[in-house]
């Protein structure tokens, strides 16, 4: 299996290193427009392979043609929102970057899957699908695993229990309107409500929603990359090993949960064919309302793409 990672910044490079360290795939190509950066990072990782006892081939390039034959394309391309930028400014900048990225994916890796990490995540995933013309099962985004990991980490911190025993699911768009589902959160099969009162759970949910911003405020000059790269690697592992794992994935909905023609976070089976099935949970009216609110925000972003003739 060959994976091409577009963008060799902190998320892209960290993802590449995780794939090499775990020998998840056979070959990794780091791609970036900055001359020398993907080559340098790729060489550094290749030189670490003997210590890691890994035979994964890793190279870096500025040439999109190097993604030819890739099974999975991880798209991290884009810029973070900067002070003074409006949401529309960010959307315009990143959609233009991703138009070029997607055109090259179609040209050089037409049989690949596209795993979107670029922000705004749900909107960029929709754009990648529209621009590529790929089947819906072959285009999906990473956000839910990251958000769920943060949620589980905060629960473990609060209770002093192992993260391994915490199972949870989140839905909706990646951002402040994401929908954690404490009703489906368990610790070794025991409901979360057995351990924590509602006000504590609500506080953890709020911290989860602001999780990315909390890290940005601490770092001052960057954003998270360890947890995002771990989440991407988990998705690739599920696909390459055909594990059929049920994971929170930004996936296309065509009537599920009453939503159509939208990409949003839902539990889905991830395997060798990409998103193999969306799992529909029996939500309460309140949960349905929160999901609808989150989906509406994503849909408004998609509408902005069309109204500004960006798609």
Q: Find all residues with CB under 8 Å of 37, minimum gap 6, and list them.
A: 8, 60
Cβ distance 116 to 142 under 8 Å? yes
| 59 and 15 in a common domain | yes
The pLDDT of residue 159 is 98
Rounded CA separation 218/211 (Å): 11
For residues 239 and 87, the model is more confident at: 239
Of 54-68, 171-185, 279-293, minimum mean pLDDT range: 171-185
Rounded CA separation 55/118 (Å): 29
| 164 and 240 in a common domain | yes
Checking if the pLDDT of 163 tops 80, the result is: yes
pLDDT band for position 83 (cuts 50, 70, 90): low
pLDDT tens digits for range 220-251? 888 899 999 999 999 999 999 999 999 999 99
Residue closest to 242 by CA, chosen among 276, 279, 278, 280 = 276
Which residues share a beta bridge with 60? Answer: 30
| 188 and 111 in a common domain | no
The pLDDT of residue 227 is 97
The pLDDT of residue 310 is 87
Rounded CA separation 14/231 (Å): 11
Rounded CA separation 182/89 (Å): 35
CATH number of the domain enclosing 83: 3.40.50.720
Q: Residue 200: in which H helix or E strand, if any?
A: helix 198-209
The pLDDT of residue 202 is 96
Cβ distance 205 to 62 under 8 Å? no
Q: Which domain holds residue 107?
A: 2-141
Q: Mean pLDDT, to the nearest integer, of 286-290?
A: 96
Q: What is the DSSP letter of 118?
A: P
Average pLDDT, the chain: 95
Domain count, the chain: 2
pLDDT band for position 89 (cuts 50, 70, 90): confident
CATH number of the domain enclosing 205: 3.90.110.10
Of 14-23, 86-95, 275-284, minimum mean pLDDT range: 86-95
* Angle of CA points 171, 138, 128, to nearest 5°: 80
Token readout for 163 is 């993260």
Picking from 141, 164, 188, the residue at the C-terminal end of a domain is 141
Token readout for 23 is 């020998």
Please list the active-site residues.
174
Q: What is the DSSP letter of 165?
A: G
The pLDDT of residue 91 is 84
Checking if the pLDDT of 86 tops 80, the result is: no
Picking from 141, 165, 194, the residue at the C-terminal end of a domain is 141
| 163 and 98 in a common domain | no
The pLDDT of residue 308 is 87
The pLDDT of residue 42 is 98
Rounded CA separation 260/239 (Å): 25
Rounded CA separation 197/201 (Å): 6
Report in angstroms the alpha-carbon separations of 253 from 59, 102, 151, 159, 215. 36, 21, 24, 35, 31
pLDDT tens digits for range 181-207? 999 999 999 999 999 999 999 999 999
Picking from 141, 162, 186, the residue at the C-terminal end of a domain is 141
SS3 226: helix
Checking if the pLDDT of 85 tops 80, the result is: no
pLDDT-above-70 percentage for the chain: 98
pTM of the model: 0.96
| 150 and 137 in a common domain | no
| 292 and 152 in a common domain | yes
């Amino acid at each position: 299996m060959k994976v091409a990672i577009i963008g060799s910044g902190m998320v892209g490079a960290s993802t590449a290193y995780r794939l090499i360290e775990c020998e998840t795939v056979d070959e990794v190509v780091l791609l970036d427009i900055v001359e020398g950066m993907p080559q340098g990072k790729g060489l550094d990782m290749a030189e670490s392979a003997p210590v890691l006892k890994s035979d994964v081939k890793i190279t870096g390039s500025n040439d999109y043609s190097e993604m030819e034959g890739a099974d999975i394309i991880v798209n991290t391309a884009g810029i973070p929102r900067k002070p003074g930028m409006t949401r529309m400014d960010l959307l315009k900048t990143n959609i233009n970057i991703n138009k070029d990225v997607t055109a090259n994916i179609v040209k050089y890796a037409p049989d690949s899957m596209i795993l979107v990490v670029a922000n705004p995540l749900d909107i960029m995933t929709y754009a990648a699908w529209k621009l590529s013309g790929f089947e819906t099962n072959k285009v999906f985004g990473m956000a839910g695993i990251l958000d769920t990991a943060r949620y589980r980490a905060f629960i473990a911190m609060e209770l002093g229990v192992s993260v391994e025993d915490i199972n949870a699911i989140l839905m909706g768009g990646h951002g402040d309107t994401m929908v954690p589902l404490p009703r489906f959160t368990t610790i070794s099969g025991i409901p979360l409500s057995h351990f924590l009162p509602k006000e504590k759970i609500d506080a953890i949910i709020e911290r989860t929603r602001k999780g990315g911003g909390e890290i940005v405020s601490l770092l001052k000059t960057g954003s998270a990359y360890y947890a995002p790269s771990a989440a991407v690697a988990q998705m690739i592992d599920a696909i390459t090993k055909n594990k059929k794992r049920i994971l929170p994935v930004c996936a296309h909905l065509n009537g599920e949960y009453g939503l159509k023609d939208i990409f949003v976070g839902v539990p889905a089976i991830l395997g060798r064919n990409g998103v193999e099935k969306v799992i529909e949970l029996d939500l309460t009216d309140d949960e349905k309302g929160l999901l609808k609110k989150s989906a509406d925000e994503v849909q408004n972003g998609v509408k902005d793409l069309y109204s500004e003739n960006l798609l």
